[in-house]
A and B are shown apart, each in its own frame.
Chain A
Amino acid sequence: MTPVDFEYLRKLLKERSGLDLATDKQYLVESRLTPLARKAGLAGIGGLVQKMKNGAAALTVDVVEAMTTNETFFFRDKTPFDHLRETVIPALLQARAARRSLRIWCAAGSTGQEPYSIAMCLRECGSTLTGWRTEIIATDLSNEVLEKSRAGLYSQFEVQRGLPIQLLIKYFKQVGELWQINPDIRAMIQHRQLNLLQDFSHLGTFDMIFCRNVLIYFDQETKIGVFTRLAKQMEADGFLALGAAETVVGLTDAFKPHPDKRGLYQPNRVRAPSLVPGMPSTKAAVRA
Protein backbone atom coordinates (compact mmCIF):
# COMPACT_ATOMS: atom_id res chain seq x y z
CA MET A 1 0.00 0.00 0.00
CA THR A 2 1.42 3.35 -0.98
CA PRO A 3 1.45 6.28 1.49
CA VAL A 4 -0.96 8.09 -0.86
CA ASP A 5 -3.46 5.19 -0.74
CA PHE A 6 -3.16 5.01 3.05
CA GLU A 7 -3.78 8.76 3.37
CA TYR A 8 -6.86 8.49 1.11
CA LEU A 9 -8.25 5.66 3.26
CA ARG A 10 -7.39 7.45 6.50
CA LYS A 11 -9.31 10.57 5.45
CA LEU A 12 -12.26 8.61 4.09
CA LEU A 13 -12.60 6.52 7.27
CA LYS A 14 -12.39 9.62 9.45
CA GLU A 15 -15.19 11.29 7.46
CA ARG A 16 -17.45 8.26 7.17
CA SER A 17 -17.09 6.55 10.54
CA GLY A 18 -15.04 8.81 12.79
CA LEU A 19 -12.27 6.22 12.91
CA ASP A 20 -9.06 8.02 13.84
CA LEU A 21 -6.31 5.91 12.27
CA ALA A 22 -2.79 6.62 13.47
CA THR A 23 -0.08 6.63 10.81
CA ASP A 24 1.40 3.41 12.24
CA LYS A 25 -1.81 1.46 11.54
CA GLN A 26 -1.00 0.53 7.95
CA TYR A 27 -0.81 -3.15 8.98
CA LEU A 28 -4.41 -2.96 10.26
CA VAL A 29 -5.64 -1.53 6.97
CA GLU A 30 -3.73 -4.17 5.01
CA SER A 31 -4.95 -7.09 7.13
CA ARG A 32 -8.59 -6.02 6.88
CA LEU A 33 -8.79 -4.71 3.33
CA THR A 34 -6.60 -7.17 1.42
CA PRO A 35 -9.22 -9.96 1.74
CA LEU A 36 -11.89 -7.47 0.63
CA ALA A 37 -9.82 -6.48 -2.42
CA ARG A 38 -9.39 -10.14 -3.37
CA LYS A 39 -13.11 -10.77 -2.94
CA ALA A 40 -13.78 -7.87 -5.32
CA GLY A 41 -11.39 -9.44 -7.85
CA LEU A 42 -8.76 -6.74 -7.38
CA ALA A 43 -5.02 -7.25 -7.09
CA GLY A 44 -4.60 -5.29 -3.90
CA ILE A 45 -5.43 -2.20 -1.88
CA GLY A 46 -4.23 0.08 -4.69
CA GLY A 47 -6.94 -1.33 -6.96
CA LEU A 48 -9.50 -0.95 -4.18
CA VAL A 49 -8.64 2.71 -3.69
CA GLN A 50 -8.77 3.35 -7.44
CA LYS A 51 -12.27 1.84 -7.68
CA MET A 52 -13.44 3.93 -4.74
CA LYS A 53 -12.04 7.08 -6.34
CA ASN A 54 -14.02 6.18 -9.46
CA GLY A 55 -17.21 6.24 -7.42
CA ALA A 56 -17.81 2.62 -6.35
CA ALA A 57 -20.25 3.49 -3.54
CA ALA A 58 -21.07 -0.07 -2.45
CA LEU A 59 -17.37 -0.92 -2.25
CA THR A 60 -16.79 2.17 -0.11
CA VAL A 61 -19.47 0.99 2.33
CA ASP A 62 -17.77 -2.44 2.45
CA VAL A 63 -14.42 -0.79 3.19
CA VAL A 64 -15.86 1.28 6.04
CA GLU A 65 -17.59 -1.79 7.49
CA ALA A 66 -14.46 -3.94 7.16
CA MET A 67 -12.48 -1.36 9.14
CA THR A 68 -15.04 -1.27 11.95
CA THR A 69 -14.09 -3.26 15.02
CA ASN A 70 -16.96 -5.51 16.04
CA GLU A 71 -15.31 -7.31 18.91
CA THR A 72 -18.04 -8.02 21.46
CA PHE A 73 -19.37 -10.72 23.72
CA PHE A 74 -22.23 -11.36 26.08
CA PHE A 75 -22.10 -9.41 29.35
CA ARG A 76 -18.78 -7.90 28.28
CA ASP A 77 -16.86 -6.52 31.30
CA LYS A 78 -19.74 -7.68 33.56
CA THR A 79 -19.72 -4.43 35.62
CA PRO A 80 -22.04 -2.36 33.37
CA PHE A 81 -24.66 -5.08 33.66
CA ASP A 82 -24.22 -5.20 37.45
CA HIS A 83 -24.80 -1.42 37.38
CA LEU A 84 -27.91 -1.93 35.25
CA ARG A 85 -29.36 -4.54 37.64
CA GLU A 86 -28.29 -3.03 40.94
CA THR A 87 -28.32 0.73 40.35
CA VAL A 88 -30.08 1.80 37.16
CA ILE A 89 -33.16 -0.42 37.17
CA PRO A 90 -33.99 0.18 40.88
CA ALA A 91 -33.56 3.96 40.39
CA LEU A 92 -35.69 4.02 37.25
CA LEU A 93 -38.37 1.76 38.72
CA GLN A 94 -38.94 4.52 41.25
CA ALA A 95 -38.46 7.48 38.97
CA ARG A 96 -40.65 6.09 36.15
CA ALA A 97 -43.33 4.51 38.35
CA ALA A 98 -45.98 6.81 36.91
CA ARG A 99 -45.28 6.32 33.21
CA ARG A 100 -44.04 2.71 33.54
CA SER A 101 -41.72 2.75 30.55
CA LEU A 102 -37.99 2.41 29.95
CA ARG A 103 -36.01 3.28 26.84
CA ILE A 104 -32.47 1.95 26.45
CA TRP A 105 -30.13 2.61 23.53
CA CYS A 106 -27.14 0.49 22.54
CA ALA A 107 -25.24 2.98 20.42
CA ALA A 108 -22.81 0.38 19.06
CA GLY A 109 -24.90 -2.77 19.22
CA SER A 110 -22.60 -4.70 16.88
CA THR A 111 -23.61 -8.36 16.45
CA GLY A 112 -26.18 -8.21 19.24
CA GLN A 113 -24.44 -9.58 22.31
CA GLU A 114 -24.79 -6.29 24.21
CA PRO A 115 -28.47 -5.54 23.45
CA TYR A 116 -29.41 -9.17 24.12
CA SER A 117 -27.48 -9.09 27.42
CA ILE A 118 -29.55 -6.04 28.39
CA ALA A 119 -32.75 -7.78 27.30
CA MET A 120 -31.88 -10.83 29.43
CA CYS A 121 -31.15 -8.54 32.41
CA LEU A 122 -34.59 -6.95 32.03
CA ARG A 123 -36.24 -10.35 31.64
CA GLU A 124 -34.45 -11.60 34.76
CA CYS A 125 -36.15 -8.79 36.72
CA GLY A 126 -39.23 -11.00 36.50
CA SER A 127 -42.50 -9.57 37.72
CA THR A 128 -40.90 -6.26 38.75
CA LEU A 129 -41.23 -5.01 35.17
CA THR A 130 -44.56 -6.64 34.41
CA GLY A 131 -46.83 -4.08 32.77
CA TRP A 132 -43.88 -1.85 31.84
CA ARG A 133 -43.12 -0.87 28.27
CA THR A 134 -39.44 -1.53 27.65
CA GLU A 135 -37.71 -0.47 24.45
CA ILE A 136 -34.17 -1.42 23.52
CA ILE A 137 -32.82 0.24 20.38
CA ALA A 138 -29.66 -1.31 18.93
CA THR A 139 -27.85 0.78 16.35
CA ASP A 140 -24.65 0.23 14.44
CA LEU A 141 -22.82 1.68 11.49
CA SER A 142 -22.60 -1.69 9.81
CA ASN A 143 -25.61 -3.32 8.18
CA GLU A 144 -23.76 -6.62 8.10
CA VAL A 145 -23.43 -6.85 11.89
CA LEU A 146 -27.02 -5.67 12.34
CA GLU A 147 -28.16 -8.57 10.16
CA LYS A 148 -26.33 -10.99 12.41
CA SER A 149 -27.83 -9.29 15.45
CA ARG A 150 -31.35 -9.58 14.02
CA ALA A 151 -30.85 -13.29 13.36
CA GLY A 152 -29.61 -13.83 16.93
CA LEU A 153 -27.58 -16.87 15.85
CA TYR A 154 -24.28 -17.49 17.60
CA SER A 155 -21.54 -20.07 17.45
CA GLN A 156 -20.70 -22.34 20.36
CA PHE A 157 -17.58 -20.23 20.87
CA GLU A 158 -19.58 -16.98 21.04
CA VAL A 159 -22.13 -18.24 23.58
CA GLN A 160 -19.35 -19.37 25.89
CA ARG A 161 -17.71 -15.97 26.29
CA GLY A 162 -19.47 -14.20 29.15
CA LEU A 163 -22.87 -15.87 29.00
CA PRO A 164 -23.67 -17.86 32.17
CA ILE A 165 -24.73 -21.41 31.31
CA GLN A 166 -28.08 -21.00 33.10
CA LEU A 167 -28.97 -18.11 30.78
CA LEU A 168 -27.87 -20.10 27.73
CA ILE A 169 -30.30 -22.92 28.38
CA LYS A 170 -33.02 -20.53 29.48
CA TYR A 171 -32.96 -18.08 26.58
CA PHE A 172 -31.42 -19.96 23.62
CA LYS A 173 -32.29 -22.96 21.54
CA GLN A 174 -29.87 -25.16 19.66
CA VAL A 175 -30.01 -24.92 15.88
CA GLY A 176 -27.60 -27.49 14.52
CA GLU A 177 -24.19 -26.41 15.70
CA LEU A 178 -25.37 -22.88 16.48
CA TRP A 179 -27.42 -21.34 19.27
CA GLN A 180 -30.27 -18.95 18.57
CA ILE A 181 -31.69 -16.52 21.09
CA ASN A 182 -35.40 -17.07 21.67
CA PRO A 183 -37.93 -15.07 19.60
CA ASP A 184 -39.39 -13.28 22.64
CA ILE A 185 -35.95 -11.85 23.51
CA ARG A 186 -35.24 -11.00 19.86
CA ALA A 187 -38.55 -9.14 19.75
CA MET A 188 -37.36 -6.86 22.57
CA ILE A 189 -34.73 -5.28 20.29
CA GLN A 190 -35.32 -2.73 17.52
CA HIS A 191 -32.39 -2.62 15.10
CA ARG A 192 -31.45 0.48 13.14
CA GLN A 193 -28.47 1.44 11.00
CA LEU A 194 -26.92 4.60 12.38
CA ASN A 195 -23.69 6.53 12.06
CA LEU A 196 -22.84 8.26 15.33
CA LEU A 197 -21.26 11.11 13.36
CA GLN A 198 -24.67 11.98 11.93
CA ASP A 199 -27.74 13.43 13.60
CA PHE A 200 -29.51 10.96 15.89
CA SER A 201 -32.07 13.29 17.47
CA HIS A 202 -34.86 11.34 15.70
CA LEU A 203 -34.27 8.44 18.09
CA GLY A 204 -35.87 10.40 20.93
CA THR A 205 -34.77 10.47 24.56
CA PHE A 206 -33.48 7.56 26.59
CA ASP A 207 -33.30 6.48 30.21
CA MET A 208 -30.02 4.71 29.60
CA ILE A 209 -27.47 4.75 26.82
CA PHE A 210 -24.76 2.13 26.36
CA CYS A 211 -22.00 3.68 24.26
CA ARG A 212 -19.17 1.31 24.99
CA ASN A 213 -15.87 0.74 23.23
CA VAL A 214 -16.70 2.86 20.22
CA LEU A 215 -15.54 6.36 21.14
CA ILE A 216 -12.03 5.04 21.78
CA TYR A 217 -11.58 4.98 18.00
CA PHE A 218 -12.51 8.68 17.63
CA ASP A 219 -10.31 11.73 18.06
CA GLN A 220 -10.97 14.16 20.93
CA GLU A 221 -13.02 16.63 18.91
CA THR A 222 -15.31 13.90 17.57
CA LYS A 223 -15.72 12.38 21.05
CA ILE A 224 -16.75 15.76 22.49
CA GLY A 225 -19.28 16.26 19.69
CA VAL A 226 -20.82 12.83 20.26
CA PHE A 227 -20.98 13.33 24.05
CA THR A 228 -22.70 16.69 23.58
CA ARG A 229 -25.32 15.13 21.30
CA LEU A 230 -25.75 12.05 23.53
CA ALA A 231 -26.53 14.34 26.47
CA LYS A 232 -29.39 15.87 24.47
CA GLN A 233 -30.93 12.41 23.95
CA MET A 234 -30.79 11.61 27.65
CA GLU A 235 -33.44 12.06 30.34
CA ALA A 236 -32.17 14.44 33.05
CA ASP A 237 -31.90 11.53 35.52
CA GLY A 238 -30.75 9.00 32.92
CA PHE A 239 -27.54 6.97 32.82
CA LEU A 240 -24.69 6.59 30.35
CA ALA A 241 -22.47 3.48 30.35
CA LEU A 242 -19.04 3.78 28.72
CA GLY A 243 -16.36 1.17 28.08
CA ALA A 244 -13.76 0.31 30.69
CA ALA A 245 -11.11 2.40 28.91
CA GLU A 246 -13.38 5.39 28.26
CA THR A 247 -14.33 8.46 30.28
CA VAL A 248 -15.95 11.88 29.94
CA VAL A 249 -13.48 13.40 32.36
CA GLY A 250 -11.42 16.12 30.71
CA LEU A 251 -13.58 16.04 27.59
CA THR A 252 -17.01 17.35 28.47
CA ASP A 253 -19.05 18.53 31.39
CA ALA A 254 -22.27 17.33 29.78
CA PHE A 255 -21.97 14.22 31.95
CA LYS A 256 -20.58 13.61 35.41
CA PRO A 257 -19.24 10.29 36.73
CA HIS A 258 -21.55 8.41 39.08
CA PRO A 259 -20.06 8.82 42.58
CA ASP A 260 -19.87 5.07 43.33
CA LYS A 261 -20.20 3.20 40.06
CA ARG A 262 -17.18 3.13 37.79
CA GLY A 263 -18.04 3.46 34.10
CA LEU A 264 -21.46 4.93 34.81
CA TYR A 265 -22.26 8.60 34.10
CA GLN A 266 -25.23 10.90 34.47
CA PRO A 267 -26.20 14.15 32.76
CA ASN A 268 -24.69 17.10 34.51
CA ARG A 269 -27.36 19.60 35.43
CA VAL A 270 -24.84 22.11 36.75
CA ARG A 271 -22.55 22.90 33.83
CA ALA A 272 -19.17 24.55 34.30
CA PRO A 273 -19.35 28.12 32.95
CA SER A 274 -16.22 27.65 30.81
CA LEU A 275 -17.96 25.07 28.61
CA VAL A 276 -21.33 26.71 28.18
CA PRO A 277 -21.52 28.19 24.66
CA GLY A 278 -21.68 31.94 24.58
CA MET A 279 -20.42 32.35 28.13
CA PRO A 280 -16.97 33.70 28.99
CA SER A 281 -14.56 30.97 30.00
CA THR A 282 -13.33 30.65 33.56
CA LYS A 283 -9.78 31.41 32.38
CA ALA A 284 -10.98 34.52 30.58
CA ALA A 285 -12.86 35.63 33.69
CA VAL A 286 -9.74 35.15 35.83
CA ARG A 287 -7.64 37.10 33.34
CA ALA A 288 -10.20 39.91 33.36
Chain B
Amino acid sequence: MKTCLIVDDSSVIRKVARRILEGFSFHIVEAEDGEKALEVCRRELPDAVLLDWNMPVMDGYEFLRNLRRMPGGDQPKVVFCTTENDVAHIARALHAGANEYIMKPFDKDIVTAKFQEIGLI
Protein backbone atom coordinates (compact mmCIF):
# COMPACT_ATOMS: atom_id res chain seq x y z
CA MET B 1 0.00 0.00 0.00
CA LYS B 2 1.32 3.43 -0.99
CA THR B 3 1.57 6.17 1.63
CA CYS B 4 0.50 9.76 1.06
CA LEU B 5 1.40 12.53 3.48
CA ILE B 6 -1.21 15.28 3.48
CA VAL B 7 0.22 18.58 4.69
CA ASP B 8 -2.30 21.37 5.30
CA ASP B 9 -3.11 23.59 8.26
CA SER B 10 -6.84 23.17 7.55
CA SER B 11 -8.27 20.06 9.13
CA VAL B 12 -11.22 20.26 6.72
CA ILE B 13 -8.93 20.13 3.67
CA ARG B 14 -6.99 17.24 5.22
CA LYS B 15 -10.24 15.37 5.81
CA VAL B 16 -11.52 15.93 2.26
CA ALA B 17 -8.19 14.92 0.69
CA ARG B 18 -7.95 11.88 2.98
CA ARG B 19 -11.39 10.71 1.89
CA ILE B 20 -10.48 11.03 -1.80
CA LEU B 21 -7.07 9.33 -1.55
CA GLU B 22 -8.25 6.53 0.75
CA GLY B 23 -10.63 5.70 -2.08
CA PHE B 24 -7.53 4.84 -4.10
CA SER B 25 -6.16 2.67 -1.26
CA PHE B 26 -3.52 5.11 -0.03
CA HIS B 27 -2.36 4.87 3.57
CA ILE B 28 -2.71 8.45 4.82
CA VAL B 29 -0.49 10.35 7.21
CA GLU B 30 -1.34 13.95 8.13
CA ALA B 31 0.71 16.98 9.20
CA GLU B 32 -0.49 20.51 9.88
CA ASP B 33 2.65 22.40 8.88
CA GLY B 34 5.94 21.95 7.05
CA GLU B 35 8.02 21.29 10.12
CA LYS B 36 5.77 18.48 11.37
CA ALA B 37 5.76 17.09 7.81
CA LEU B 38 9.57 17.01 7.81
CA GLU B 39 9.50 15.05 11.09
CA VAL B 40 7.25 12.48 9.43
CA CYS B 41 9.61 12.26 6.43
CA ARG B 42 12.66 11.81 8.68
CA ARG B 43 10.97 8.75 10.22
CA GLU B 44 9.78 7.30 6.91
CA LEU B 45 9.55 8.79 3.44
CA PRO B 46 6.05 8.63 1.94
CA ASP B 47 5.38 7.77 -1.70
CA ALA B 48 3.49 11.02 -2.22
CA VAL B 49 2.99 14.37 -0.53
CA LEU B 50 -0.08 16.55 -1.05
CA LEU B 51 1.23 19.93 0.03
CA ASP B 52 -0.33 23.26 0.94
CA TRP B 53 1.74 26.39 0.39
CA ASN B 54 0.71 28.83 3.13
CA MET B 55 1.00 27.33 6.59
CA PRO B 56 2.28 28.56 9.94
CA VAL B 57 5.74 27.57 11.31
CA MET B 58 7.08 26.32 7.94
CA ASP B 59 5.35 26.83 4.60
CA GLY B 60 5.05 24.23 1.85
CA TYR B 61 7.75 25.75 -0.33
CA GLU B 62 10.31 25.64 2.49
CA PHE B 63 9.27 22.08 3.33
CA LEU B 64 9.81 21.01 -0.29
CA ARG B 65 13.28 22.54 -0.47
CA ASN B 66 14.22 20.73 2.77
CA LEU B 67 12.69 17.46 1.60
CA ARG B 68 14.59 17.46 -1.70
CA ARG B 69 17.87 17.92 0.23
CA MET B 70 17.23 14.91 2.50
CA PRO B 71 18.79 11.51 1.67
CA GLY B 72 16.20 9.85 -0.60
CA GLY B 73 14.18 13.06 -0.55
CA ASP B 74 14.05 13.13 -4.33
CA GLN B 75 11.84 10.02 -4.30
CA PRO B 76 8.42 11.17 -3.01
CA LYS B 77 6.14 12.67 -5.65
CA VAL B 78 5.04 16.08 -4.44
CA VAL B 79 1.76 17.65 -5.52
CA PHE B 80 1.18 21.20 -4.37
CA CYS B 81 -2.42 21.93 -3.42
CA THR B 82 -2.83 25.63 -2.82
CA THR B 83 -4.76 28.84 -3.40
CA GLU B 84 -1.57 30.35 -4.88
CA ASN B 85 -2.79 29.90 -8.43
CA ASP B 86 -0.59 32.18 -10.51
CA VAL B 87 2.12 31.28 -13.01
CA ALA B 88 4.93 32.69 -10.83
CA HIS B 89 4.07 30.44 -7.89
CA ILE B 90 3.62 27.40 -10.15
CA ALA B 91 6.97 27.99 -11.85
CA ARG B 92 8.66 28.44 -8.45
CA ALA B 93 7.16 25.19 -7.16
CA LEU B 94 8.26 23.22 -10.23
CA HIS B 95 11.74 24.69 -9.98
CA ALA B 96 11.94 23.56 -6.34
CA GLY B 97 11.05 20.01 -7.38
CA ALA B 98 7.25 19.75 -7.28
CA ASN B 99 5.85 17.10 -9.63
CA GLU B 100 2.34 18.47 -10.02
CA TYR B 101 0.23 21.39 -8.88
CA ILE B 102 -3.40 21.62 -7.84
CA MET B 103 -5.06 25.01 -7.66
CA LYS B 104 -7.72 25.17 -4.95
CA PRO B 105 -10.64 24.67 -4.90
CA PHE B 106 -10.23 21.07 -5.95
CA ASP B 107 -12.47 18.05 -6.29
CA LYS B 108 -12.07 14.32 -6.68
CA ASP B 109 -11.69 14.54 -10.49
CA ILE B 110 -8.79 16.96 -10.21
CA VAL B 111 -6.94 14.99 -7.51
CA THR B 112 -7.47 11.81 -9.51
CA ALA B 113 -6.20 13.40 -12.74
CA LYS B 114 -3.12 14.83 -11.06
CA PHE B 115 -2.21 11.60 -9.26
CA GLN B 116 -2.72 9.71 -12.52
CA GLU B 117 -0.45 12.19 -14.27
CA ILE B 118 2.44 11.36 -11.93
CA GLY B 119 1.77 7.63 -12.08
CA LEU B 120 0.48 7.11 -8.54
CA ILE B 121 -3.00 5.95 -9.55
Contact = CB atoms under 8 A, between A and B. Distances in A.
Given A160-B110, A160-B113, A165 B100 contact: yes
A173 B86 CA distance: 10
A225 interface: no
B86 A161 contact: no
B113 A162 contact: yes
Interface in B78-121: 85-87, 90-91, 94, 100-103, 106-107, 109-110, 113-114, 116-117
A156 interface: yes
Contacts of A78: 116
Interface in A149-200: 156-157, 160-162, 164-166, 168-169, 173-174
Nearest to B104: A156
B94 A165 contact: yes
Given A160-B113, A161-B113, A162-B113, A169 B103 contact: no
Given A156-B85, A156-B103, A160-B102, A165 B113 contact: no
Given A164-B100, A164-B117, A165-B101, A157 B110 contact: yes
**Size class of the A contact interface (CB-based, 8 Å):** 10 to 19
Interface string A24-56: 000000000000000000000000000000000
Contacts of A156: 85, 103
Given A156-B85, A160-B106, A169 B113 contact: no
Nearest to B110: A160
B12 to A, nearest CB: 19
Interface string A212-228: 00000000000000000
A197 to B, nearest CB: 32
B11 to A, nearest CB: 23
A157 B110 CA distance: 8
B15 to A, nearest CB: 21
A78 B119 CA distance: 12
Nearest to A74: B113
Given A160-B103, A161-B110, A166 B85 contact: no
B91 to A, nearest CB: 6
A174 B110 CA distance: 19
A166 B117 CA distance: 11
A161 B111 CA distance: 9
Contacts of A160: 102-103, 106, 110, 113-114
A160 B102 CA distance: 7
B69 to A, nearest CB: 22
A40 B116 CA distance: 42
Which 8 residue pairs of A and B lie closest in terms of their CB atoms, listed nearest first? A165-B101, A160-B110, A161-B113, A156-B103, A169-B90, A162-B113, A169-B87, A165-B100
15 contacts: A73-B113, A156-B85, A157-B107, A160-B102, A160-B103, A160-B113, A160-B114, A161-B113, A164-B117, A165-B100, A168-B90, A169-B91, A169-B94, A174-B86, A174-B87
Interface of B: 85-87, 90-91, 94, 100-103, 106-107, 109-110, 113-114, 116-117
Interface of A: 73, 78, 156-157, 160-162, 164-166, 168-169, 173-174
Given A73-B113, A78-B116, A160-B102, 9 more contacts: A157-B107, A160-B103, A160-B114, A161-B110, A164-B117, A165-B100, A169-B91, A169-B94, A174-B87
